[in-house]
């Protein structure tokens, strides 16, 4: 703590053990000889009393608490930074035994992470750990895979699970790093072997997230500062700031750029290392080619043709990033090809075909940029079909998404069913009305059906042969977040499949 200039004062108790056997930030999870962190907006001093009663012997906090009398006390200037450093030490620095890879970006983190895990598993025989917003994987057995609750876990949980991964024989870790992770110091002190910047568009701005776009960007840039090698999508907005952040700690010869084959930026002061070009995309397969354009890129033998089960031209970006990462981790072309070709991701571009009601797709698009990426791909792929969308915006967060939905739906959708998506403490009807108010009703017919299952049923029932139904925003979530409770929900794909079965059998 002293080394990091975090320690303000340290009070020890002669009669209390100094051996900590457990660490926790939750008074409901305490064992004998626990080190307890007092952190967070919702922290109450009674939690410390409760922790002490149950066996906590030391607390770490930004101020002394009378409730901690008789305990060791470490008073620090920043408790979340302290928690990250102390957790790493408590779990014996598991990061030192893992090849560490992180993705950031507004969109594509989960997909890229799954792609890269698929490839690395070829190299290490299935010993790639994963921390994603869908699943976390800390070992090779089925019981080592579990649903994640945050995109990037709280630091203590992160280091604990990294330790589990190392003890289970995992050699690589692929993780998503959200902007909140840096804002809340969940990854403070971690340096990645490879860090990826996929893209940035306005999102996650609001009372519970970032105060403004600058703060959102600033947090995301930290991944570039904290990575030994940086891989950047040269087509992203704010490229100059991202590249500058990377160069603060990384020599330009350890920074790799990639872009689509026809992308041109005359202001770019260095060559693009890798380019990719679509070869063929249909509703079953995406084929594209990756080209090495510089000597640095040619040293990484991954040039060649690739095929993906994941449809959507935007997935070529995610796949290119993952393949470059695999190449840098020592995977050859053939293993990259074999490793990526069958990867699928729950709730992303899951396609159902129907006999008479068009094509139905469940996807996790839930902001303007991803809605545009999805709908423009459908428009191209199906030669301007009727596009019917089922979507809702969450409550309590991402408020800017609502205007983004109105805008993108007005541009591409013919009909939308506005519905419920994690309303939290807000009223789903008010959210739907807000989105509806921004839609150009001459271009897109608006229906409001707050029962998500009914909205999906109505959308599919009304679709004709050549239409496309896009069920957006929830992906594979098996719940609706309502007033602080995760209310069970069957998942969009199950609901859609049932509707189709009833209509067609
Ligand atoms: C805004 C934010 O980052 N909040 C996270 C944070 O909350 P916090 O530190 O303020 O803690 P709190 O919930 O107010 O509770 C205070 C403390 O009291 C403790 N407590 C509570 C009750 C009790 O009886 N006893 C007790 O000791 C709690 O364990 C906690 O340590 O720490 C908690 C875990 O320690 C997280 O669950 C919580 O994430 C909330 C739920 C969340 O949804 N965060 C979202 C915004 C988020 O982080 N999303 C990103 C993805 C979005 C992006 O791309 O940026 C993500 O990485 O998932
Ligand atoms: N590179 C991309 N550019 C634009 N849109 C994308 C891209 N990749 C995926 N998408 C869209 O975004 C959705 C979410 O993708 P994914 O889960 O990989 O992103 P994410 O960064 O993990 O998102 P989140 O932070 O919201 O969890 C996809 O279902 C797809 O519609």
Contacts of 246 (CB under 8 A, 6+ apart): 197, 224, 225, 227, 230, 232, 255
**Whose atoms come closest to the Cα of 103: which ligand?**
2
Residue whose CB lies within 8 A of the most ligand 2 atoms, among 364, 371, 401, 473, for a mutation test: 364
End-to-end CA distance of the chain: 66
56 and 76 part of one domain: yes
pLDDT tens by residue, 63-111:
999 999 999 999 999 999 999 999 999 999 999 999 999 999 999 999 9
**Ligand 2 site, residue 105, Cβ cutoff 6 A:** yes
Number of domains in the chain: 3
Where residue 400 falls among pLDDT bands split at 50, 70, 90? confident
71 and 100 part of one domain: no
* Residue range of the domain that includes 55: 7-90
Whether 336 and 306 have beta carbons less than 8 Å apart is answered as: yes
The binding site comprises 27, 105-111, 151-152, 178, 186
Ligand 2 atom 30 nearest Cα: 365
**Whose atoms come closest to the Cα of 367: which ligand?**
2
Q: In what order do the strands lie in the sheet with 255-260?
A: 145-147, 135-137, 128-131, 172-176, 99-104, 192-197, 227-233, 255-260, 274-281, 286-292, 304-308
Residue whose CB lies within 8 A of the most ligand 1 atoms, among 27, 28, 39, for a mutation test: 39
344 in any annotated domain:
no
Contacts of 399 (CB under 8 A, 6+ apart): 205, 206
Task: Report the CATH number at residue 29.
Answer: 3.40.1390.10
Separation between Cα atoms, residue 244 and residue 281, nearest integer Å: 35
Query: Residue 472: beta bridge partners?
Result: 363
pLDDT tens by residue, 353-374:
899 999 999 999 989 989 999 9
116 and 191 part of one domain: yes
Q: Where does a domain end: 38, 55, 90?
A: 90
101 and 85 part of one domain: no
Ligand 2 centroid to residue 315 C-alpha, Å: 9
Separation between Cα atoms, residue 61 and residue 39, nearest integer Å: 7
Task: Report the CATH number at residue 385.
Answer: 3.90.190.20
Ligand 1 centroid to residue 43 C-alpha, Å: 10
163 and 22 part of one domain: no
Alpha-carbon distances of 461 from 42, 104, 477, rounded to whole Å: 45, 38, 23
**Ligand 1 site, residue 154, Cβ cutoff 6 A:** yes
pLDDT recorded at residue 332: 96
Q: Is 266 exposed, middle or buried (0-12, 13-18, 19+ CB in 10 A)?
A: exposed
Q: In what order do the strands lie in the sheet with 22-24?
A: 7-11, 72-76, 56-61, 34-37, 22-24
162 and 249 part of one domain: yes
Residue 186 has pLDDT above 90, yes or no: yes
Whether 350 and 374 have beta carbons less than 8 Å apart is answered as: no
**Ligand 2 site, residue 109, Cβ cutoff 6 A:** yes
122 and 30 part of one domain: no
Locate the ligand 2 atom nearest the alpha carbon of residue 371 and give its number.
31
pTM: 0.94
Whether 472 and 324 have beta carbons less than 8 Å apart is answered as: no
267 in any annotated domain:
no
């Amino acid at each position: 703590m002293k080394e990091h200039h975090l320690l303000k004062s340290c009070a020890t108790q002669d009669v209390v053990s100094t051996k900590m056997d457990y660490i926790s930030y939750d008074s409901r999870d305490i064992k004998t000889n626990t080190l307890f962190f007092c952190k967070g907006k919702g922290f109450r001093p009674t939690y410390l009393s409760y922790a002490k009663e149950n066996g906590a012997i030391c607390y770490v906090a930004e101020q002394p608490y009378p409730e901690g009398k008789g305990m060791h006390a470490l008073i620090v200037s920043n408790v979340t930074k302290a928690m990250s450093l102390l957790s790493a030490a408590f779990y014996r620095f598991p990061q030192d035994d893992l090849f560490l890879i992180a993705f950031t970006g507004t969109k594509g983190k989960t997909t890229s992470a799954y792609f890269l895990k698929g490839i690395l598993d070829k190299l290490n025989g299935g010993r790639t750990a994963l921390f994603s917003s869908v699943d976390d994987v800390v070992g090779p057995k089925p019981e080592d895979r579990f649903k994640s609750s945050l995109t990037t876990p709280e630091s203590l949980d992160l280091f604990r699970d990294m330790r589990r991964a190392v003890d289970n024989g995992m050699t690589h870790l692929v993780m998503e790093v959200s902007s909140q992770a840096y804002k809340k110091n969940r990854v403070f002190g971690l340096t990645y072997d490879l860090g990826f910047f996929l893209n940035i568009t306005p999102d996650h701005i609001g009372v519970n997230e970032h105060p403004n776009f600058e703060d959102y960007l600033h947090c995301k840039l930290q991944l570039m500062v904290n990575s030994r090698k940086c891989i950047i999508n040269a087509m992203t907005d704010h490229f100059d700031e991202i590249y500058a952040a990377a160069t603060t700690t990384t020599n330009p010869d350890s920074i790799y750029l990639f872009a689509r084959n026809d992308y041109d930026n005359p202001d770019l002061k260095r060559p693009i290392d890798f380019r990719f070009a679509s070869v063929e995309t249909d509703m079953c397969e995406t084929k594209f080619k990756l080209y090495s354009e510089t000597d640095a890129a040619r040293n990484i033998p991954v040039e060649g043709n690739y095929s993906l089960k994941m449809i959507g031209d935007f997935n070529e970006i995610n796949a290119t990033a993952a393949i470059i990462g695999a190449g840098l981790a020592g995977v050859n072309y053939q293993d990259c090809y074999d490793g990526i070709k069958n990867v699928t991701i729950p709730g992303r571009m899951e396609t159902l075909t129907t006999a008479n009601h068009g094509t139905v797709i469940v996807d996790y698009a839930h902001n303007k940029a991803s809605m545009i990426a999805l709908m423009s791909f459908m428009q191209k792929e199906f030669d301007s079909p009727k596009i019917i969308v089922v979507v809702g915006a969450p409550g309590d967060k991402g408020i800017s998404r609502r205007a983004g939905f109105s805008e993108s739906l007005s541009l591409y959708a013919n009909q939308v069913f506005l519905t419920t998506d994690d309303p939290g403490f807000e009223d789903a009807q008010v959210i739907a009305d807000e989105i509806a108010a921004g839609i150009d009703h001459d271009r897109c017919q608006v229906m409001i059906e707050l029962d998500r299952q009914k909205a999906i049923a109505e959308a599919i029932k009304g679709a004709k042969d050549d239409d496309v139904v896009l069920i957006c925003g929830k992906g594979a979530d098996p719940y609706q977040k309502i007033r602080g409770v995760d209310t069970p929900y069957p998942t969009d794909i199950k609901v859609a499949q049932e509707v189709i079965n009833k209509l067609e059998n």
